[in-house]
Every structure is written in structure tokens, then in C-alpha cells.
Amino acid sequence: MTCISSMFSYQVARDAVLRFRPNISITPYHANVKESRFNVDFYKEFDVVLNGLDNLDARRHVNRLCLAADVPLVESGTTGFLGQVTVHLKGKTECYECQAKPAPKTYPVCTITSTPSKFVHCIVWAKDLLFAKLFGDKNLENDLNVRSSDATNLSEHSEDVFECRKGEDIEQYGRRIYDHVFGHNIEVALSNEETWKNRNKPCAIYSKDVFPDKLTKENGKTEKGSTTEDVSAMASLGLKNPQDVWSLAENSRVFYESLRLFFSKRQKEIGNLTFDKDDQLAVEFVTAAANIRASSFGIPLHSLFEAKGIAGNIVHAVATTNAIIAGLIVIEAIKVLKKDSNNYRMTYCLEHPSKKLLLMPVEPYEPNKSCYVCSETPLSLEVNTHHSKLRDFVEKIVKAKLGMNFPVIMSGASIIYEVGEDLEEDMVAIYAANLEKALSELPSPVISGTVLTVEDLQQEFSCRINIKHREEFDEEKEPDGMLLSGRVEAPVDKNSNKPIGNGESTSSALSTEEIQEGERDVEIQETSESAENVTGKKRKLSEVSKGSIPDHSGLPDESSRNQNQLEKLDVDDEDDELIISNDWESLTKKKRL
């Protein structure tokens, strides 16, 4: 018997198992599951894959490799007191991507850079703009300046402001960055009086107002020989409780100290860093920067614990729930190894009893015929082919939306983009040049009616995308400047500031198979943590089984719900699905596969 378990604490899990079964062989890998060595051939070595990853992108990656290798996948996730275990077999049950998953909320650039009104806006600004600008790829476009009608003043002041100047020590550099992003940029924003007619005006904050004359007297020092994992601004400053809400002065000290530590202890990483919720120093920097910006705009400050949850889209774990889900994973894995397909179950762990039950098993769904991953249904993309570059398509659609790592993009028989270690230098240069061209200007022009084939050789996955030219897009509703359709995706909860995680209700509809033989009505409802009412409309099971989306035309109040209601919540260590039903019998009589 062989299996692969995709979890974070590989070595810890191995050591725990060997304590009571010392004679078995377990090989742990402390690595990124998306590394090229973990390819389809690697997955084919196993009889079953047990998944407990913490993000949607990695889960989709493993799902596709399991499909390519034809290896059963047992998925799992927890969120607080909620959790689930689901079984996925190629061609027999739905794959992990057959049903809608929560998508992170995106915000218009103008809101993030100019008029934040929620703490999450400040987090996005600190994480995706400031952190990326200071420590990430310098070549990426990044507008950190609050928009202003005075473009001349803006350009003059922002030139090379984020570059550490020759002969400038880290204290001078830190003060200059602080004064620019929290002081000058705010004053520039205030100069546009029209913006603040119906909004509360922010206040500019400068380092001289919050810092002592000499920062090094106030800030601590890390111990010599500390490793990357040990570097912490909180430890350096003697701040011990991550649930404390720091004052403006404390946030300012953490901001400077984390900046200093990055440049003194992690200098080699600067230029290649991306935000990681498990990177303590990165979380400290983002928390401090977000809080200083929030203070400027009159937004309540948050603790590091809260900020980490928002920045990392995480819901903190409960040990008992994890233990229950771990047991359910093993139960389903045993069924898979015995090929006992008649007894496979998707089991959901509930916070409160339903029909006196806390564990609710449901028979697996059949594959969704509209799934572009396992059913190869073509997608459609509306895009301005004259303005949008190939780079936009690769970054915003192929990687961000479709989850591909090493894409090959073809228009007919012509390859217009490819990545890989074995490419010759001249081809690398050609594809790099293509990235900067508008779609319609490529050697094989991409225009309305073009069908693109996009493949990921590592995942052994491909899909087709039908291109449709469109002139204009709504910046607020369509910030990417593109609209992808045909992909199963749940809308985000636009009314919530909270991270999308295991307990959040983000699906607009539940598309399911027959609950029992024969036609019968079932009520499908959309729930939202922030909504007072629930949308719902009864549909015939024959219609539901086709994957159609119910017509949410009415808004019945709570008293109109019946005992046959079916609610869908998206959960996982960030992304799986929880189904809660008040009609236990109808769910367990679902059509067998």
C-alpha cells in the first residue's frame, strides 16, 4: 500500500506515526508541492492521495495531477468548527474543481490607492503595493502614489523614492519611505478637493511626529547569528502578544524595525520576495504599514493576529475539528484502497447538531459536465484585443484564474508563448517580446473568433479559450479588463471585510445531482454571513442535475424556509465546500455512482 499525503508538517506527522508503528516506511518531503519533481509520474507511484493543503491554488494543482495520473484523491479541509472530507475519482465522481470555490475579493486600484474605507483596503495596499515595491520584483508596474490632479508634483517627488540612495543609511531610508507614503502621498490626495466632498479627509503622518530623534536608541537589536526564521521585529522590540492592538507609535516602530531587519538580515532575498502569511517578518511589516495607513484615514486599527488572518485569507484552526477530519480522511482512504466505491462518502463536520448529528455523510456527486478541468468544456474570454497585452492574459487569466504554472499558449498550430528550462535562448527572447505585445499584434494575431489552446505540461492539463473582442470594461466591476466565462466560480461576498476562508458563505448557487431517484423539488439557497435574507427558488431535480443555476428572483424571509432547504457554504483551509441540510434522509438517499 502506498499513498501520498499533501500536508505541511511532513516530518512531524512521520515522527508521530512511527511512535506507534515503528516498522513501516514513510518518506517525508519538505518542499513545495508544485515543484517540477512532483510530476504525473511521481503521482502514478501511489494508490491514493490524501490532501490537506492550505490554499486553493495548490489544491487545484494536485487535483489536476491526480486526474492526469488517474489516482484517487481524498480532499479535506477545516475552518474553525467546520470541516469536510471528499472523495474524487476520475470519471466517476466530480473533481475538486467541478463545483464553485470562493474567489478572493478584488478591489479597484483607485479605492486601494486613494480612498480606502475598510481595514482590508489598507491590508491590500500594504501587501500588494508597498511590500511588493520595497522587497519584490522591481520591474513590475506598481502605482503607490495616491492619485492627484497635480501630475507634475507627483512625478517629481516619486522619482526613485523607493531606491536606497548611495551613502544613505537604513534609518534615513526608512524615514524617507515613511514620509513619502504616509505623509506626502496623503497631502497630494488632499489637494484634490473634489474627492473629499462626501468623504472624511485623511491626515498626513510624518516620521518626525511619531519617531524619536534617533531611531536606533528606541528600537531593539536582534541577536547575532539569528536565522531567517528567527528574525522578528516584535521580538526585537519586546512586543510579545500578537493579539494586542498597537498604537500609532508602536506600529511606526514595527514598520521601521521590520524594514531594517529585511535589509540587514535578509538582504539577499530583496527583489525576489512575495508576501507569505507564514513569514513572520513580512506579516509584521504589512500589519504595521496597514495600521499606519488606517490611522491616517480614520479606520480602526487591528492586531497582528487579526491582520494576518485578513492578509492570508485564513481562519484559525480548532484542534478537535482537525482530529475528527484526520480520522475521516483515513476512513475514506481505506474504502478507496479496498475499492469499496459504493460506500464512498463526502462527510461534513458541523459546529451545531442537525438532526442530532454533528457528522453528515453524503454520497459523492457525479462529474459536472460543465467543468473545464475534467470535462474539457471550452471557456470564453471577453477582452480588448487591441489594448490588452499577452502579459495581461498570462498573469491575470492563465496563472491567476486557471492556476497554470508552466503554460504553453497556442493559436492554431503556432506557439505564441511557452516557459521551460529546456528552451533555447532565442526562443526565450521571442516569447519575452511577445509578452509586451497587444494580443492583436502578435505574430499569430489573437482577435475576435480566435480559439487559444492553453496547456500546462507539468499538470498534463489543457483547455480551449474562445476569444471575443470587447471595447470597454467597467473598472469597478471588471478591474482586470477581461471577463472569463464558462469557469465554475463562486462570487465573493462584496459586503464582508473578512477573509474568505473555511466558514465563509460565498457561493451563489449549489449545482448538485439527484438526491434520490425520481423527480422531486428541492430548495436551493444562497447564504451570506452578512445577509439578513436568503434567496431561493424551488427547482426540479432533473433541472438541478444539469448544473443549471436557480433563478434568484425572490427574497423570502426566514419564516418561509422549509425543512427541505439545502444550504451551501464554501470552506477549507481556505477553500472547500460545506453542505448543511435539515433533511438528512433525502441527502443520504442520493443517487449512487
Q: What amino acid positions are annotated as catalytic residues?
A: 110
Distance from C-alpha of 118 to C-alpha of 297, rounded to nearest angstrom: 9
The amino acid present at 329, given as its one-letter code, is I
Q: Give CA angle at 554 (552, 558), nearest 5°.
A: 110
CA dihedral 453, 454, 455, 461 (to 10 degrees): -90
Cell numbers representing residue 533 in the block = 435574507
List Cβ neighbours of 353 (8 Å cut-off, separation of 6 or more): none
Chain center to CA of 386:
30
Q: Which residues are CB-contacts of 458 (< 8 A; sequence separation ≥ 6)?
A: 34, 36, 39, 405, 406
Is residue 59 part of an annotated ligand binding site? yes
Distance (Å, whole) CA 174 – CA 159 = 16
DSSP 118: S
Q: Are strands 521-526 and 565-570 parallel, antiparallel or unpaired?
A: parallel
474 in a labelled binding site: no
314: left (phi over 0), alpha (psi -120 to 50) or beta: beta
C-alpha cell at 353: 447538531
**Which amino acid would we find at residue 530?**
S
Count CB neighbours of 194 within 10 A.
7
- Residue 374 is labelled as binding a ligand: yes
User: Sign of dihedral through CA atoms 402, 405, 411, 412?
Assistant: negative
Q: How far is CA 182 from the centre of its chain?
A: 28
What is the Cα–Cα distance from 77 to 59, expressed in whole angstroms? 11
β-strand 82-88 against 73-79: which pairing, if any?
antiparallel
Contacts of 20 (CB under 8 A, 6+ apart): none
Please tell me whether 54 is known to bind a ligand.
yes
| Inter-residue contact 442 to 416 (CB < 8 Å) | yes
Q: Which residues, in sequence order, are CB contacts of 537 under 8 Å at separation 6+?
A: 523, 524, 550, 551, 552, 553, 554
98 annotated among ligand-binding-site residues = yes
Which helix (DSSP H) or strand (DSSP E) does residue 323 occupy?
Answer: helix 319-337
Question: Could you tell me which residues are annotated as the binding site for ATP?
Answer: 54-59
Question: Could you tell me which residues are annotated as the binding site for Zn(2+)?
Answer: 95, 98, 371, 374
Question: Could you tell me which residues are annotated as the binding site?
Answer: 54-59, 95, 98, 371, 374
